[in-house]
Amino acid sequence: MAKTKLTFKTPLAELRYVNIVGQGKLRFDPTNKFDKNKAEAYEYTASVILSKEQADVITANFKDFWNENKPKGLTKQKYDLVKAEMKDTGKKDEDGDAIKEPTGFYILQAKTTTEWPSGDKNIVKIMRGNGNPLNLGVKQIGDGSVGVIHGQIGVNDFAGNEGLNFFLSGVQLKSFKEKTDAEIDAEDLGGDEGMDELDMDTADISNEAPTNTPEV
């Protein structure tokens, strides 16, 4: 029997960390099981920033879905799909790690593979506010855009890591802010060493596409 999926869309909210074209984002891989030269090592992601009120409603709905479809013998999920947004306080603890604190907002992230098992490319739909298709060309969705993330909620029954997944299928835009490269504020560091010959030997590849990039 196929696993139950819940068709789900987020409320209208600020979009963050949208990466849904090209090579995608490198997957979390603590055991180094993925080959970084293959599409399986990458995923498309998109997140929304939620108010506490929005987060509470969604969390309650997800809990109901979990209780109705959870693996036999389990009670609680091993992780939260809706997470508190944290910010750096600029302080460090006794181990030298950054001390963070909640912002009062919450993050919900959706993910999907960049390719299907067949090898066909996975295209995440981009839509206008009225639902019609939107072609952004080479432009990408930046932080501060406002919209809705569409997808499905499914049960992750992997032993020891049971919970819910949010599978990304589309992004609907109410307002668009283009993603731009972060500016670099370089200062003069004085004389350098060992780099006299680099200018003539090193090609500028800043405009080249990364290797192993799926067509979009």
CA distance 105 to 149: 17
pLDDT in tens, the chain (216 residues): 468 899 999 999 999 999 999 999 998 888 888 888 888 899 999 999 999 999 999 999 999 999 999 988 888 999 999 999 999 999 999 998 999 999 999 999 999 999 998 989 999 999 999 999 999 998 999 999 999 999 999 999 888 889 999 999 999 999 999 998 753 444 545 555 544 444 433 333 333 333 333 332
> Which tokens sit at 91?
């302080």
CATH level 2 (architecture), domain 5-84+100-180: Beta Barrel (2.40)
> Which tokens sit at 171?
């992004």
- pTM to 2 decimal places: 0.80
CA distance 13 to 58: 13
17, 70, 155, 178, 216 from 106: Cα distances, Å: 14, 24, 21, 23, 31
Report the sign of the C-alpha dihedral through residues 78, 113, 23, 135, in that order: negative
